[in-house]
Amino acid sequence: MINQETKIFTPQYLLLCLSSFLFFASFNMLIPELPDYLSSMGGEDFKGLIIGVFTITAGLSRPFSGKLTDKWGRIPVMVVGAAVCVLCGFIYPWANTIFFFLLLRLVHGFSTGFKPTGTAAFIADIVPITRRGEAMGIYGFVTSTGMAFGPYLGSIVASEFSLNTLFYTSSVFAFMSVAILFSMKETLAKEKREPFSFKLFKIKRSDLFHPDLWPVAVTVFLTSFAYGTIITLTPDLSKIVGVENKGLFFLIFTLASLFTRILGGKISDKKGRVRVLIFGAVLLVMAMGLTSITSHYYFFIAGGIFFGTSWGLISPSYQAWTIDLCSEETRGRAVATMYIALEAGIGLGAVVPMFLYDNKPEQIGYAFQLCMLMAAFAVVFLVWYKRKFKVA
């Protein structure tokens, strides 16, 4: 592990942020256009699976990526994840049936099953312990910018050129992400590394779930449910409200999160992770309530702002909390546990509310009200945990 100093902005950290910006822009630029693409094949009833099947392989691959991160290295795991995006972008133009398309989404999910796991462990290796939340917040600022830029750019590329051009653009962004990773230095100590072999894929029960991470897992699951619904249904919500660019909501909530990520992470370093998470979850309840009111454009805007603000507080806090609760030797597996909960929440949030929506515009508000309920459960859990274990 690289010896931690007091500064955050080292060359390694900056290169990692740039690589992650390109990675998140790569696969997020596709999201606003995929529902209509699937509907053009006659698959409008399967729109919830666009995110749902993506998160299945992301979640299933987490125990493997976590173990590989701790044994094989941070950078190789990140390269594998970004390389999947490169490959999938070139295959999407050939996915012209519902089955082939959903199968490709299943494969594409391996990208987020690997890249963020290695990234979180890498950041924990190189940043000061006392500034961990701040570092996660800055990193989140960069990735959120990529997530905002990606969908907005994707809609422009698709409308001005073609869907195939969009898919190829996604591959180019992912390729640049991989190229940057090859210029970086591995942070896992040489004496801890093992050469790649298939025995590394042998998973024990302890690799599936880090027992110390249970409060993080509960919190992440309950709050990420809303995220799954947002990324699945906001393209439809945009059309219902009368917004032409289906990436606008993504842009609004991501820009809003930029103003709170750094601040939220920094406050969590000083005031405590749980305290910040409670406040963020309360804002998430309000965000989902506003988004469920589809009668006016202003509620659409306000919902995006509140959602971005809440997610900007929640995300860096639970990422830093994850590292706080694990040992250096189990960072990869701890991060994998956190991401398994994240993928489970996003996946169910993408699929379950679709039954309430049922492609009926007048019912879309019910989907966001369910998210509001899940966020309220998160508030109750965190308040209980804070009092029970007397933590900040």
CA distance to 58, 175, 181, per residue, from 223 (Å): 18, 31, 31
Residues 6+ apart with CB under 8 A from 277: 219, 268, 313, 314, 317, 318, 321, 378, 382
Task: Give 120-136 pLDDT, tens digit per residue.
Answer: 999 999 998 888 888 98
Quick one: average pLDDT of 112-117? 92
Distance CA 275, CA 309 (A): 15
Task: Give 325-344 pLDDT, tens digit per residue.
Answer: 998 888 988 998 998 999 89
Q: What is the pLDDT of residue 4?
A: 47
Q: What is the pLDDT of residue 234?
A: 85
Q: Where residue 1 falls among pLDDT bands split at 50, 70, 90?
A: very low
Residue 249 reports pLDDT greater than 90: no
Identity of the amino acid at 308: G
Residue 360 reports pLDDT greater than 70: yes
More reliable by pLDDT, 95 or 140: 95
Task: Give 271-323 pLDDT, tens digit per residue.
Answer: 999 999 999 999 999 999 999 987 778 898 999 999 999 999 999 999 999 99
Residue 245 reports pLDDT greater than 60: yes
Distance CA 124, CA 132 (A): 7
- Helices (H) and strands (E) counted in the chain, each on its own, are 14, 0
What's the whole-number average pLDDT of the chain?
90
Task: Give 297-306 pLDDT, tens digit per residue.
Answer: 889 899 999 9
Residue 244 reports pLDDT greater than 90: no
Task: Give 253-269 pLDDT, tens digit per residue.
Answer: 878 888 788 788 889 99
Quick one: average pLDDT of 51-68? 88
Q: Environment class of residue 296 by beta-carbon count within 10 Å: exposed (0-12), middle (13-18) or buried (19+)? A: exposed
Residues 6+ apart with CB under 8 A from 217: 209, 337, 338, 340, 341
At residue 187, φ and ψ (nearest 5 deg) are -100, -15
CA distance to 9, 69, 150, 341, per residue, from 30 (Å): 30, 28, 8, 24
| Of 34, 27, 258, nearest in space to 137 by CA | 258
Structure tokens at 381: 């859990």
Task: Give 180-229 pLDDT, tens digit per residue.
Answer: 999 999 999 999 999 999 888 888 877 778 999 999 999 999 999 999 99
Cβ atoms of residues 108 and 27 within 8 Å: yes
Q: What is the pLDDT of residue 5?
A: 55
